[in-house]
Amino acid sequence: MNFEELCLDTRILRAVTEMGFEQVSPIQAQAIPIAIEGRDLIGQAQTGTGKTAAFGIPLLQRVDPHNKKLQAIVLCPTRELAIQCANEMRKFAKFMHGIKVLPIYGGQDITKQIRSLKGGTQVIIGTPGRVIDHINRHTLKMGTVGTVVLDEADEMLNMGFREDIETILETLPDEHQTLLFSATMPRPIMEIAGNYLKNPEIIKVVKKELTVPKIEQYYYEVNPRKKSEVLSRLIDMYDPELSLIFCNTKRKVDELVDDLKGRGYFAAGLHGDMKQSQRDRVMNGFRSGKTDILVATDVAARGIDIDDVEAVFNYDVPQDDEYYVHRIGRTGRAGRTGRAFTLVVGREIYKLKDIQRYCKTKIKRQPIPSVNDITDIKVEKLMEKASDIIENENLGKMIGILEEHLDERDYSSLEMAAALLMMQMGENEMPSEVMHREEFGDTGAEPGMVRLFINIGKKQKVRIGDILGAVAGESGMEGALVGAIDMYDKFTFVEVPNEYAADVIDAMKDAKIKGKTVNVEPANKKD
């Protein structure tokens, strides 16, 4: 099954191709054909499996751009997910002129939302509470909705949205399609399905028994903007002779290869868009040692026999447990030591936990190596090489050259050695210490997040949007990554991804909210 077969609308196919999707993920292969037919569906799938596309692609194919009425509604548990989902859907709809996708969620100014809704929105991505709010105000008219999606249904129930969801489902016209996605299938989900879905097809990505090779596996929580920097540090630190790096899309492969080359690595990319002759050239370079880093998509890597790499890097968390096992299985062959490293951004940590559970394997969290760690390792390696040369080579000629120069210039031999060492280390090119990441302990936030305390609240006439704007604006982090914001009279708690927390605290030092200087610090768990 490929995207040409699944995207009946060529405009969506174009968008998906531009996004660099190469291979249909298992949930997409199963869900899209059913959903396109207009049938109801229950899909058991986690975030990170590509489920937004699994419902988004068929949903958009059923929307008529010439009709400006509301045609589809996606319910998500949180604001963050609603924004993420809307962004992804907008990408799929990039070439479908006339389709408007709008996220609506609590905390955002409702009058603004009403104005946007009046402009003719066909697809709404919303949190249940805010959707009800609009239904009650008659600013959302459900009579024309043809598709409704319950995304992360179990999570919505955990958050107490059952009644809201049922109320929303009651307002739908008789003729409509319901797509329900949930990571788990507890009884209340099955009850909702029983009451509101018509003869649904149940799909589940069946897990094969997977045998994970016994190699060391590590993961690093990273800021998405610093991914290539962290990757470079890991490559420098472990210095593998041959490495294989996996990305989820062709576009990422190309971008990463350019980035790595810019940093002075011998890297080459391999993906499905390349001609056979190009692929052969890349593989020859890798086998001959001209290239020591190969960056590939899962599909491209499948067709090649490179099974003896020293390290596998998952630049992107794979979309399927099976891909993870295939990827890391490329290292540690024939009794050789192998290592696998995975970079994790924000909520991808859940996907990784899922992989660990299904593959019954342990992936250890490691702190990102600091510049000093890398300097120490580089020095250690150089000193080992130097000792080897001193013991095994004849240095007479070199000593003669040095003596001549030292006499002329009046330097000590130690100074000269230090200068040569600096040249070897490329000291000037050492990355700046941007990654310093503090450990914040347990701040009572959800996994992967840090809860921050800000000494400003409702009494100062601050709104959630002000907090969101300040935190995202000052730190340069995408607003969608900001987690829960709880506002009280005199203070506010805001959750941000672990890897951004230090940046946010730092950036907020000089920031003002509503003209007031604020203090931001990690929350205590008891708060």
Q: At closest approach, how far in Å is the CB of 303 from ligand AMP?
A: 17
CB of 48 to ligand AMP, least distance (A): 5
Question: Which residue lies nearer to ligand AMP by CB, 48 or 497?
Answer: 48
The DSSP letter of residue 191 is H
**CB neighbour class for 122 (10 Å; exposed up to 12, middle 13-18, buried from 19):** buried
If the CB atoms of residues 21 and 265 are measured against ligand AMP, the closer one turns out to be 21
Q: Which is nearer to ligand AMP, 57 or 462 (CB)?
A: 57
- Closest separation between CB of residue 449 and ligand AMP, Å? 17
β-pairing, 72-75 with 293-296?
A: unpaired
Q: Give min distance, CB of 224 to ligand AMP, in A.
A: 11
Strand ranges inside 140-193, DSSP E = 147-150, 177-182
CB atoms inside a 10 Å sphere around CB 14: 14
SS3 category, 395: coil
Nearer residue to ligand AMP within complex by CB, 149 or 235: 149
Which residues lie near ligand AMP (CB under 6 A)? Answer: 21, 23-25, 28, 47-53, 88, 248-249, 319
In terms of DSSP bridges, do strands 485-487 and 492-497 run parallel, antiparallel, or are they unpaired? antiparallel
Rounded Cα distance between 73 and 462, Å, is: 31
Closest distance of CB 339 from ligand AMP, Å: 25
Instruction: Show the beta-strand stretches assigned E in 262-417.
Output: 267-270, 293-296, 311-314, 339-344, 364-365
* Cα–Cα distance for residue pair 80/346, rounded to 1 Å: 11
Q: Rounded CA gap, 136 and 168, in Å?
A: 11
> Least CB distance from residue 317 to ligand AMP, whole Å?
9
Least distance in angstroms from the C-beta of 76 to ligand AMP = 11
Q: Which is nearer to ligand AMP, 89 or 309 (CB)?
A: 89
Return the number of the residue (221 or 320) whose C-beta is nearest ligand AMP: 320
Rg (CA), the chain: 27
Whose Cβ is closer to ligand AMP: residue 25's or residue 61's? 25
Q: How far is the CB of 134 from ligand AMP (least distance, A)?
A: 25
Helix axes 396-409, 413-425, angle to 10 degrees: 110
Q: Is 151 left (phi over 0), alpha (psi -120 to 50) or beta?
A: beta
Please identify, using beta-carbon distances, which residue of 28 and 121 lies nearer to ligand AMP.
28
